Amino acid sequence: MLVRDKVVVVTGAASGIGRSLALRFAEEGAAGVVVADLDEAGAAAVAKEIGDRAVPVRADVSRESDVAALVDTPFGPVDLFCSNAGIIDGRGLDATDQDWNSLFSVNLMSHVYAARAAVPSMVARGGGYLLNTCSAAGLLGCPGDAPYAVTKAAAIAFAEWVAVHYATQGVKVSVLCPQGVRTAMLEHGIETDHPTAKAVHAAGAILDPADVATAVIDGLAAERFHIFPHPEVADMARRKAEDPDRWLATMAHFTADLTR
Q: For the domain that residue 212 is a member of, what is the CATH number?
A: 3.40.50.720
Residue 174 lies in a domain: yes
In a domain, 36, yes or no: yes
CA distance 128 to 120: 10
Q: Which pLDDT belongs to residue 259?
A: 63
Kindly report, residue by residue over 66-97, the tens digit of the pLDDT.
999 999 999 999 999 999 999 988 789 999 99
Number of domains forming the structure of the chain: 1
Task: Evaluate if residue 189 carries a pLDDT over 70.
Answer: no
User: Which structural domain range is residue 124 located in?
Assistant: 7-259
- Highest mean pLDDT range out of 34-38, 184-188, 192-196, 254-258? 34-38
Please provide residue 99's backbone torsions phi and psi, each rounded to the nearest 5 degrees: -60, -50
Q: Using CA atoms, how far apart are residues 42 and 82, in angstroms rounded to an integer?
A: 17
HSE at residue 215, side-chain half, CA atoms within 13 A, is 23
Instruction: Say if strands 32-37 and 128-133 run parallel, antiparallel, or are unpaired.
Output: unpaired
Q: For residues 101 and 44, what is the distance between their CA atoms, to the nearest angstrom?
A: 29
What is the residue type of 152?
A: K
- Tell me, yes or no, whether 198 lies in a domain: yes
CB 70 within 8 A of CB 56: no
Say if 1 falls within a structural domain.
no
Judge whether 32 and 56 are in contact, CB under 8 Å.
Answer: no
Flag whether 121 is in a domain.
yes
Question: Picking from 111-125, 206-220, 221-235, 243-257, which range would have the lowest pLDDT averaged per residue?
Answer: 243-257
Within a domain: 163: yes
What one-letter code names the amino acid at 130?
A: L
The residue from 113, 129, 148, 166 that is catalytic is 148
Q: Does 230 map to a domain?
A: yes
Residue 113 designated active-site: no
SS3 content of the chain, % helix, strand, coil (to 5): 55, 15, 30
The per-residue pLDDT for 97 is: 95
Per-residue pLDDT reduced to its tens digit, 28-63 = 999 999 999 999 999 999 999 999 999 999 999 999
Cα distances (angstroms) measured from residue 64 to each of 43, 100, 111, 113: 19, 18, 10, 6
Q: What is the pLDDT of residue 180?
A: 77
pLDDT tens profile 94-116: 999 999 999 999 999 999 999 99
DSSP secondary structure string for all residues of 47-69:
HHHH-TTEEEEE--TTSHHHHHH
The answer to whether residue 2 is domain-embedded is no
Instruction: Report the candidate in 90, 57, 89, 49 with the shortest Cα–Cα distance to residue 73.
Output: 57
Contact 94, 110 (CB under 8 A): no
pLDDT at res. 251: 85
User: Which one-letter DSSP state was computed for residue 105?
Assistant: I
What is d(CA 198, CA 255) in angstroms, rounded to the nearest whole number? 10
Average pLDDT over residues 203-222: 90
d(CA 70, CA 90): 30
pLDDT in tens, 140-188: 988 888 999 999 999 999 999 999 999 999 999 999 999 877 666 656 5
